[in-house]
Amino acid sequence: MTLRRAPLTPRKVSIPGDLVMTDNKPTVDVTKDWQATQGQKSGATRLRLFAVVSWVIAIGGEIAGIVLLYKHKFDQGNLPLLIGILVGIAIFAIVGSLLWKAANRKDPARESDTFRFFVQNQLGAIITLIAFLPLVLLILNDKNMDPKSKKVAGGIGAVLAVLATLIGVSYQSPSVEQYTQDMNTCAEQIKAGQPTTACSPEVAAQAQAIATDSTTVAAATKDAAHPNGQDIVYWIAPENGAAKSDTEHVFHLCAAVSPLKDKTVNSGSVTEAYAQNAIRITKQIEMEQKQCGFTAAP
């Protein structure tokens, strides 16, 4: 059996069965990777589809306005129709942006992936500019349109474009890194019985699961040397040195338990186990307590 931990500053510790492993207990318990749940991903996908439909309608309105301009439909009238088109573009552009922002809160991008992070979070503003600028510029440069109508339509179009673009901008963009930090803070607040100020809806469920499992592990790993228990668990390592496993794994109380026999095993805190997709605590607590040499609960 091979035991290993993530590449942090190592120190040696002994575990039952005369096995020696490298222990790299971090000074702060930080999950390496927050990830959206399947429900969050599904919800984000639906919201993004609705956002795209809304944006397509907005751009379709722009195309209709351009076609009508080229057909000289607004040269001597039809100003209400043109204003209606501009208002419609603004409404659908704004709705699309709000839906897209809601999707990003459920399934954000990584801030470390700079290009994707920028595009994913500012796509609403980008699409809004695409939906407005060509039409507004054509209105302002149309030599055949009545000057008064041009001034009114161009002014309204410019104001709506600015308003919709500002609404489309993401000013405090969510990120995987921020959610990871929030999740860990939330889990610590739950474990400490403090006010859960960091527990946003996006991270609360995972933070609660981490806190609950950490409490269970601590209760199950009490011994003479650790009267308050430990926050260290063991799980099957991801294959081929991957950062996380493709399939979900169970984490255990020590490396000497039967399910980990002849396996390459990683160890770390519950949050580190979650980060590598070991997200289910063993159901054989009492059996593993005996195998690991911990005192079973009375």
Q: Contact 219/228 with Cβ under 8 angstroms?
A: no
Domain ranges of the chain: 2-29+183-292, 38-174
Q: Would you write out the chain's pLDDT as a tens digit for each of its 298 residues?
A: 555 554 433 333 333 333 333 333 333 344 456 777 778 889 999 999 999 999 999 999 999 999 999 998 888 888 999 999 999 999 999 999 999 999 999 999 999 899 999 999 999 999 999 999 999 999 999 888 888 888 999 999 999 999 999 999 999 999 988 888 888 788 777 777 777 777 777 777 778 878 888 888 888 888 888 888 888 899 988 888 787 787 888 899 988 898 888 888 899 888 788 878 787 888 888 898 888 888 654 5
Residue 267 makes CB contacts below 8 A (sequence gap 6+) with 3, 4, 5, 21, 23, 232, 233, 234, 235, 255
User: How is residue 97 written in tokens?
Assistant: 């942006």
Token pair for residue 169? 């901008």
Please, where are the H alpha helices in the chain?
38-70, 79-106, 114-140, 147-168, 176-192, 201-220, 270-275, 285-292
Contact 48, 31 (CB under 8 A): no
Give pTM, 2 decimals: 0.67
